[in-house]
Amino acid sequence: MTRTQIQLPDETLARAKKVCEAREISLAELARRGIDYMLSVYAPVTDGQVEWQPPKPRKLGWKGLSDADLKREAQLTNIDLSVARSRKP
């Protein structure tokens, strides 16, 4: 393991120490976990090039509507909604 030194703003250090106290871990362990997390989130770099892939779309499926119905509902304005409500018995 390599020893290193970092500089933190006072407010960030104070917040980090509170997290450490609540979790009963050292500041070094918090930093290691934070760095490991950030490295897992960012895409790996190979030969200076990031192997980026676009995110896969999620199926939202709101209120049993199809994708086309959901898109149409999302694009309605307040006036459209008022007219639709006034037509219902």
Give residue limits of the domains in the chain: 10-47, 58-89
Overall residue count recorded for the chain in this entry: 89
pTM higher than 0.85, yes or no? no
pLDDT in the model for residue 61: 64
Beta strand pairing call for 45-46 and 49-50:
antiparallel
pLDDT in the model for residue 87: 75
Mean pLDDT of the chain: 83
Contact between residue 26 and residue 20 where contact means Cβ atoms under 8 Å apart = yes
Half-sphere CA count of 80, side-chain side, radius 13 A: 6
What's the alpha-carbon Rg for the chain, to the nearest Å? 25
pLDDT in the model for residue 34: 94
